[in-house]
Amino acid sequence: MSASAHAPAGAPAPAPVYGLVLAGGRSTRMQRDKATLAYHGKTQLEWAMELIEPLVVRAFVSVRPDQTRDPVRSKYPQVVDTHENLGPIAGILAAQAAHPEVAWLVLACDLPFLDSATLQHLLWARQPDRMATAYRSSHDGLPEPLCAIYEPHSREAIAAYVAGGKQCPRKFLIQSDAHLLEEPNPRALDNVNTPEEYGSAMNTLASPENRPSAANNSKTVRVQYFALLREQAGRSDESVVTHAGTPRELYDELRARYPFSLGPEMLRVAVNTEFADWSQPLKDGDAVVFIPPVAGG
């Protein structure tokens, strides 16, 4: 799936977006390979790849040379580090060297609370003319470099930054022309680095409100916008991966992403070409239309 981005009329099309899940760390604080930890009934690497693959043109796993044959990592296309002991920025450098013509959605593999809506919002708000698009941390307000989009023209700046003896991607974003966003889900980018944090995350995910159910399973729906909603969304239709169980929940998710000024009480909703109640259950593959009031008589 090709990611969209805002661009003025007549401007060149933005570079396509590839995905990169960083799985080349040594997990020294965790004392276990973080990519193989299971939070959702599958390894964290599998979880991250399932989130990112539908949203980008191609997706890769970032690995060290000694990890290429690892059973968990070898299932996926790989980008192999070419620099040693640089941490996550080594994966970004290798990806940009391998495919310099694309933007890279870079994602850490230790984010058990990450959701598709957060990634979709990042892609929608992308500004290709900036060096990068990233979230501000909900904890300290600083850029989150490991859930961010790095544009092709950031390649030379990152290479120069590393050549100058620096390797912290967060500090790179602080000093660069990055477009920073507020997190729609304040917990989505909480990472897990120690056994104690892993236990806490497992307890949180096991709580009743986080257990999988028919109401929060991921599904893909087709959404159409008309009149004012089309103007405010900047598009007439899109495919949306959502956990919403009803049209009302879906509209609430979309209002967190787009500057919709109309409340649901001012709209009608149709599901699969039939007018529907806002509480009607949504299914995978449904077509949803939000219809604002039409002026005139």
Count of domains observed in the chain: 2
pTM of the model: 0.69
Q: Is 256 part of a structural domain of the chain?
A: yes
Q: Is 34 part of a structural domain of the chain?
A: yes
The phi, psi pair for 68, rounded to 5°, reads -60, -30
Q: Are residues 193 and 143 in the same domain?
A: yes
Q: Beta-strand (E) ranges in 83-234?
A: 103-108, 132-136, 143-150, 178-181, 219-225
Range of the structural domain that residue 110 is part of:
17-210
Identify how many contiguous H helices and E strands the chain contains and give both numbers.
Answer: 8, 12
Are 250 and 282 in contact, with CB atoms under 8 Å apart? yes
Q: Are residues 92 and 232 in the same domain?
A: no
The closest alpha carbon to 139, from 88, 189, 75, 176, belongs to 189
The residue from 184, 210, 236 where one domain ends is 210
pLDDT in tens, the chain (297 residues): 444 455 555 566 789 999 999 998 887 787 778 888 887 778 889 999 999 999 999 999 999 999 999 999 999 999 999 998 899 999 999 999 999 999 999 999 889 999 988 999 999 899 999 999 999 998 888 999 999 999 999 999 999 999 999 999 999 999 999 999 998 888 899 888 787 887 787 787 776 555 444 334 578 899 999 999 999 888 898 888 787 889 998 998 888 778 889 988 999 999 999 999 999 999 989 999 999 986 443
Q: Are residues 205 and 223 in the same domain?
A: no
Task: Classify 163 as helix, strand or coil.
Answer: helix
CATH of the domain at 231: 3.10.20.30
Are 131 and 176 in contact, with CB atoms under 8 Å apart? yes
Q: Beta-strand (E) ranges in 57-199?
A: 59-63, 78-80, 103-108, 132-136, 143-150, 178-181
Q: Are residues 60 and 183 in the same domain?
A: yes
